[in-house]
Amino acid sequence: MNDVSKVANSNGKQPRTASKKVRRQQLIDATIESIAKYGLTGTTMTTVTREAGLSLGLANFHFSTKQNLFEETLRYLAEEHHQFWKESYEKANLAPEAKLEAIVDAHFHPTICKRKKITVWYGFFGEAKARASYRKLVADIDAERFHLSARLCRDIIREGGYKNIDPENVAMTLEGLYDGFWLNILIYPREFTRFHAMRRIKEYLAGLFPEHFEYPQPPDCKD
Amino acid sequence: MNDVSKVANSNGKQPRTASKKVRRQQLIDATIESIAKYGLTGTTMTTVTREAGLSLGLANFHFSTKQNLFEETLRYLAEEHHQFWKESYEKANLAPEAKLEAIVDAHFHPTICKRKKITVWYGFFGEAKARASYRKLVADIDAERFHLSARLCRDIIREGGYKNIDPENVAMTLEGLYDGFWLNILIYPREFTRFHAMRRIKEYLAGLFPEHFEYPQPPDCKD
Amino acid sequence: MNDVSKVANSNGKQPRTASKKVRRQQLIDATIESIAKYGLTGTTMTTVTREAGLSLGLANFHFSTKQNLFEETLRYLAEEHHQFWKESYEKANLAPEAKLEAIVDAHFHPTICKRKKITVWYGFFGEAKARASYRKLVADIDAERFHLSARLCRDIIREGGYKNIDPENVAMTLEGLYDGFWLNILIYPREFTRFHAMRRIKEYLAGLFPEHFEYPQPPDCKD
Amino acid sequence: MNDVSKVANSNGKQPRTASKKVRRQQLIDATIESIAKYGLTGTTMTTVTREAGLSLGLANFHFSTKQNLFEETLRYLAEEHHQFWKESYEKANLAPEAKLEAIVDAHFHPTICKRKKITVWYGFFGEAKARASYRKLVADIDAERFHLSARLCRDIIREGGYKNIDPENVAMTLEGLYDGFWLNILIYPREFTRFHAMRRIKEYLAGLFPEHFEYPQPPDCKD
DNA sequence: AATGAATGAGACTTCATTCAT
DNA sequence: CATGAATGAAGTCTCATTCAT
């Protein structure tokens, strides 16, 4: 049984008390779940605690305010995402094109690219106040990824002797594609999936760096 | 003074009553203004009517519910946007590359690509309920633009004899770039402007269709 | 065409202006209709004027306040009722039992005993404030009918030599039966109709005054 | 002091929290009180909670909606009434006339036949929407009492060998008298009291079943 | 006589937060 | 650690009444 909310002690009974960390994560998971179900605005302290099977007072005890709970939820997603593409990047083989592709794929890996998580991201983008939280918490990570991608592009350009290509501009375009495709997945989930997103980005890279990327083969899925 | 809310009659006094159409537009403008200031959630009937200098009851009289006011606001923006790129498309010269570029430019023209308007769009993307309104009101326009762009790409591909390029996939990528770059303008207005957006897209098109688009010259603005 | 609201002038057009009296009656009729449809509370100046096909301002012009419109509506019903049983009483033949029966029948005549009218009566009974209006407007009529009935009973008792019967007590009981049966018609219209009401009252009178009233014959309708 | 709202703990201070049941009853009592004072329509969540000395939010916490609070109030009165006449019926001696009289008396016992309670009943009768609640909650009880009374009348008729009397019709008339007399108590409290009501009903029964009921003696009170 | 846009007080309801237990 | 009854501010919506036209 993997669900943290169902942890049972040796007596088979749910423990009345649990560690700080476990409770916090329980509440953050419930927050994501609730935002997915009811939207950012539709999510109240009550929907979160009901989802978690915990009491109102407890949520307040651990997070003090709703705003804080929401920020911690965003922080959790941001860190999860950060770790995920960083690990992908590191595990990829040494070629810069492999590392760049790893970052792209991380963005659309099922662990990260879930509707319920994207819902939270775009909930934060949509609200002025939440946007401020976003910048505070995520700007650095965005910048880190941007610079890493730009560096990889620079390596690829140098290796391939590509002309007229600015690595930072490519990185910027990639960042735009990530966001734009996530939005399309959110709004038109039937017509546009994470597979479309990955293919479109690979095509873009294959167009720019023909020696390093090849066009995705479309046999089974014309998209 | 162009502001409809300040229309004065010949006596120089603000008229107590105004036509239905004028009042509705006044309230829609105030809604955009308020969403820009306080966000979609932060916008209440009170912030809207205060912004418009009108009474609460009047907003209800003209729009019945807040939900309806918001949908009419989105509809107004959608129609404005629609008309704008459609006119740009029609006014452009006959070459398909000119027409495609006109659509791109329309997306980032100052009339359309205003922070306060983008805020409204992303407000609607962020809320599950609002997203449903968006689909109802805007899906058709999105589809129309997608098909138009794909057709233009097909013409360009035929003319230029480009290989290995699927016009629909290009159109899909363009749609993603529009959304992604709008989001970057919203979140990082200092670092990313509508000029960056247009240049990145022109570069993308120049990479794909070198005979039809040329790389934007960066002398004055390295971006 | 009997409906005052559809009165047409010689041009076949509805006159923009009409006599005070006609407009007032139009609005009173609309009030009764609206109370029947939406209840006393559910009736607003808007539902009334919509029903009448007239404007809000006009209702205000003729009745000043909602409270006044409601009172005039009650007054109209009270007077209609008053006239109706009074005429029935006068038209009946000279025998006191005939006159008493005429009063009973008037109470449950289809002109008077309509669900939509009873709804108005009980709307007034149900509200403390409206009850005050009721007393002001109707108490005298109620008293007049009570005394008239008592007098008729006295005549019947004298004629028949009935023992142990107090005419005022009978009149009191009759008044109670009118109200109680109206309520049953209002609440249980399927199970209890004006026919049940009239039969039960006739039975009551036949029990008291066997020489003057006979049991209603139940052949076709066991009730 | 018997008032549940003033319950003090051992410290002499009013407890901040109380059991669900206590709070609910407190609010129901306050609702009755408020309807008596201001009418059904005049009763707002504010008048109720002010009467109860509790906060608005709490009423919502316990009853969710005003409609629900009102229905629970009616249910409380209906059950109280039901229990009251049922117990009276059971406690009366075995003779059917004793049992029937017990039901009549229960209807006009001071516990039940209070102006403030009757006000609530007629409030519900007066509003279309409330009438629907009434039927839902009280129709069964009304039917039960009707059938019980009819059965008692049948026994009386059989015992006394009375001719030409239909027990169901008598029960129907009794139900009408209850309602009509309650209304008279509500509207003309000076002129018509519960004593008048009980005497009139006893006279009616004495007229029908002379062997089983005797005329109420009027020495002290000519009514 | 007649219209209907406009107002503003007040209704119901929601919900983040508090706090006695 | 944990609960959940309690508060009160704020939101949306209703509606009698007013008044310029």
**Which residue do the tokens 């449950």 mark?**
C108
| Distance (Å, whole) CA B73 – CA A202 | 37
Q: Decide if pLDDT at D199 tops 50.
A: yes
Name the fold adopted by D73-223: Tetracycline Repressor; domain 2 (1.10.357)
Q: Considering chain C, what percentage of its residues have pLDDT values greater than 90?
A: 78
The residue with greater pLDDT, B5 or B169, is: B169
- What are C153's two structure tokens? 């009973």
Q: Decide if pLDDT at A2 tops 90.
A: no
Q: Decide if pLDDT at B74 tops 60.
A: yes
Q: Residue A14 CB closer than 7 angstroms to strand F?
A: no
Indicate the residue type of D27. L
- What are B148's two structure tokens? 């138009």
| Distance (Å, whole) CA A52 – CA B189 | 37
**Which residue do the tokens 């804080």 mark?**
A68
Residues of D in contact with C41 (CB under 8 A): 40-41, 127
Do the Cβ atoms of C56 and C64 come closer than 8 Å?
Answer: no
Residues of D in contact with C204 (CB under 8 A): 173, 204
The reported pLDDT for the residue numbered B4 is 39
For residue D127, give the nearest of C41, C176, C200 by CB distance. Answer: C41
Residues of C in contact with D178 (CB under 8 A): 180
The reported pLDDT for the residue numbered C67 is 92
The reported pLDDT for the residue numbered C1 is 34
Q: Mutate one of B127, B184, B198 to test the A interface: name it (highest A CB count within 10 A).
A: B127
Give the distance from residue D148's alpha carbon to the nearest chain C alpha carbon, in angstroms. Answer: 17
Name the fold adopted by C67-223: Tetracycline Repressor; domain 2 (1.10.357)
Q: Considering chain A, what percentage of its residues have pLDDT values greater than 90?
A: 78
Name the fold adopted by B70-215: Tetracycline Repressor; domain 2 (1.10.357)
Question: Tell me, what DSSP letter sits at residue A14?
Answer: P
Same CATH topology for A1-64 and A71-223?
A: no
Closest nucleotide relative to residue B52's CA, C1' based: E6
Give the distance from residue C128's alpha carbon to the nearest chain D alpha carbon, in angstroms. Answer: 5
The reported pLDDT for the residue numbered D7 is 39
B167-187 helix and B128-160 helix, angle to the nearest 10 degrees: 130
Q: Decide if pLDDT at D67 tops 70.
A: yes
The reported pLDDT for the residue numbered D18 is 65
Q: Which of residues 5-64 of B touch strand F (CB under 7 A)?
A: 9, 15-17, 43-46, 56-57, 60-61, 64
Q: Decide if pLDDT at D164 tops 50.
A: yes
| Distance (Å, whole) CA A71 – CA D191 | 70
Would you place residue A20 in the very low, low, confident or very high pLDDT band (cuts 50, 70, 90)? Answer: confident
The reported pLDDT for the residue numbered D20 is 82
Q: What is the pLDDT of residues A85-114, one digit of tens each?
A: 999 999 999 999 999 999 999 999 999 999
Which amino acid residue lies closest to nucleotide F6, measuring CA to C1'? Answer: D58
Q: What is the pLDDT of residues B88-113, one digit of tens each?
A: 999 999 999 999 999 999 999 999 99
Question: Tell me, what DSSP letter sits at residue B14?
Answer: P
| Distance (Å, whole) CA A60 – CA A75 | 18
* Cα dihedral C76, C78, C84, C89 sign: negative
Q: Which of residues 3-62 of C touch strand F (CB under 7 A)?
A: 42-46, 56-57, 60
Do the Cβ atoms of B60 and B45 come closer than 8 Å?
Answer: yes
Q: Decide if pLDDT at B126 tops 60.
A: yes
In this structure, what are the phi and psi dihedrals at residue D192, rounded to the nearest 5 degrees?
-130, 120
Q: Tell me what the mean pLDDT of segment B10-15 comes to.
A: 42
Closest nucleotide relative to residue C59's CA, C1' based: E2
Q: Which residues contact D198 (CB under 8 A, 6 or more apart)?
A: D104, D105, D108, D216
H helices of chain A, in order, are 20-42, 45-52, 56-63, 66-91, 96-107, 115-126, 128-160, 167-187, 194-208
**Which residue do the tokens 């549940």 mark?**
D4
Question: How far does the CA of D56 sit from the C1' of E15, in Å?
Answer: 13
* Domain C17-64, CATH: 1.10.10.60
Do the Cβ atoms of D171 and D146 come closer than 8 Å?
Answer: yes
The reported pLDDT for the residue numbered C132 is 87
Closest nucleotide relative to residue A57's CA, C1' based: F3
Identify the chains in contact with D, defined as 3+ C-beta pairs within 8 A.
Answer: C
Question: How far does the CA of C70 sit from the C1' of E7, in Å?
Answer: 24
Indicate the residue type of A201. I
Identify the chains in contact with A, defined as 3+ C-beta pairs within 8 A.
Answer: B
Do the Cβ atoms of C182 and C123 come closer than 8 Å?
Answer: no
Do the Cβ atoms of C53 and C5 come closer than 8 Å?
Answer: yes
Q: Residue D18 CB closer than 7 angstroms to strand F?
A: yes
Q: Decide if pLDDT at C71 tops 90.
A: yes
Residue of C nearest to D130 (CA): C39
CA A159 centroid distance within chain:
31
Question: In Å, how far are A112, A145, D42 from A83, measured between CA atoms?
Answer: 11, 11, 61
Q: Which of A81, A58, A77, A75 is nearest to A5 (CA)?
A: A58
Give the distance from residue A118's alpha carbon to the nearest chain B alpha carbon, in angstroms. Answer: 10
| Distance (Å, whole) CA B128 – CA B40 | 12
Closest nucleotide relative to residue B57's CA, C1' based: E7
Q: Mutate one of B203, B208, B213 to test the A interface: name it (highest A CB count within 10 A).
A: B203
Residues of A in contact with B141 (CB under 8 A): none
The reported pLDDT for the residue numbered D8 is 37
Do the Cβ atoms of A154 and A167 come closer than 8 Å?
Answer: yes
Do the Cβ atoms of D150 and D90 come closer than 8 Å?
Answer: no
What are the DSSP calls for chain D, one per residue?
A: ---GGG---TTSSPPS---HHHHHHHHHHHHHHHHHHHHHHH--HHHHHHHHT--HHHHHHHHSSHHHHHHHHHHHHHHHHHHHHHHHHHHS-SSHHHHHHHHHHHHTSTTT--HHHHHHHHHHHHSHHHHHHHHHHHHHHHHHHHHHHHHHHHHHHHHHT--S--HHHHHHHHHHHHHHHHHHHHH-TTT--HHHHHHHHHHHHHHH-TTT--PPP-SS---
**For D128, what's the count of Cα atoms within 13 Å in the CB-facing half-sphere?**
17
Q: What is the pTM of this model?
A: 0.85
The reported pLDDT for the residue numbered A133 is 86
Residue of C nearest to D37 (CA): C128
The reported pLDDT for the residue numbered C91 is 95
Residues of B in contact with A177 (CB under 8 A): 173, 176-177, 180
Question: How far does the CA of B43 sit from the C1' of F12, in Å?
Answer: 12
The reported pLDDT for the residue numbered C18 is 64
Identify the chains in contact with C, defined as 3+ C-beta pairs within 8 A.
Answer: D
Contact A207 B208 (CB under 8 A): yes
- What are A65's two structure tokens? 């305010």
Give the distance from residue A87's alpha carbon to the nearest chain B alpha carbon, in angstroms. Answer: 25
Spell out the SS3 assignment of C201-216: HHHHHHHHCCCCCCCC
Contact D177 C176 (CB under 8 A): yes
Q: Tally Cβ neighbours within 10 Å of residue D161.
A: 7
The reported pLDDT for the residue numbered D191 is 95
Q: Tally Cβ neighbours within 10 Å of residue D1.
A: 7
* Cα dihedral C146, C149, C154, C157 sign: negative
For residue B181, give the nearest of A119, A176, A187 by CB distance. Answer: A176
Give the distance from residue C55's alpha carbon to the nearest chain D alpha carbon, in angstroms. Answer: 26
CATH architecture of A71-223: Orthogonal Bundle (1.10)
CA A205 centroid distance within chain:
21
- What are C74's two structure tokens? 């009650």
Q: B–D contact (≥3 CB pairs within 8 Å)?
A: no
Would you place residue A11 in the very low, low, confident or very high pLDDT band (cuts 50, 70, 90)? Answer: very low
CATH architecture of B1-64: Orthogonal Bundle (1.10)
Q: Residue A7 CB closer than 7 angstroms to strand F?
A: no
Across chain B, the runs of DSSP E, i.e. the strands, are: none
Would you place residue B15 in the very low, low, confident or very high pLDDT band (cuts 50, 70, 90)? Answer: low
Q: Which of C168, C172, C189 is nearest to D183 (CA)?
A: C172
Element (H, E) at B164: none
Question: How far does the CA of A213 sit from the C1' of F18, in Å?
Answer: 74
The reported pLDDT for the residue numbered D200 is 98
Q: Mutate one of B179, B186, B194, B208 to test the A interface: name it (highest A CB count within 10 A).
A: B179
Q: Which of A179, A181, A177, A174 is nearest to A156 (CA)?
A: A174
Residue of B nearest to A208 (CA): B207
Give the distance from residue B20's alpha carbon to the nearest chain A alpha carbon, in angstroms. Answer: 31
Q: Residue B66 CB closer than 7 angstroms to strand F?
A: yes
**For D131, what's the count of Cα atoms within 13 Å in the CB-facing half-sphere?**
21
| Distance (Å, whole) CA A189 – CA A125 | 19
| Distance (Å, whole) CA B125 – CA B131 | 5
Q: Decide if pLDDT at D1 tops 90.
A: no
Q: Which residues contact A210 (CB under 8 A, 6 or more apart)?
A: none
Q: Tally Cβ neighbours within 10 Å of residue D91.
A: 10
| Distance (Å, whole) CA C32 – CA C43 | 9
Would you place residue D223 in the very low, low, confident or very high pLDDT band (cuts 50, 70, 90)? Answer: very low
| Distance (Å, whole) CA B195 – CA B184 | 12
Highest average pLDDT, of B122-131, C107-116, D124-133, comes from C107-116
Q: Considering chain B, what percentage of its residues have pLDDT values greater than 70?
A: 89
| Distance (Å, whole) CA A113 – CA A121 | 11
Q: Decide if pLDDT at B184 tops 90.
A: yes
Delimit the domains of chain D by residue range: 1-64, 73-223
Q: Which of C99, C172, C186 is nearest to C142 (CA)?
A: C172
Do the Cβ atoms of B185 and A186 come closer than 8 Å?
Answer: no
Please state, rounded to an integer, the average pLDDT across all residues of chain B. 89
Q: Which of C37-46, C138-147, D103-112, D161-170 has the least mean pLDDT?
A: C37-46
For residue D173, give the nearest of C169, C179, C200 by CB distance. Answer: C200
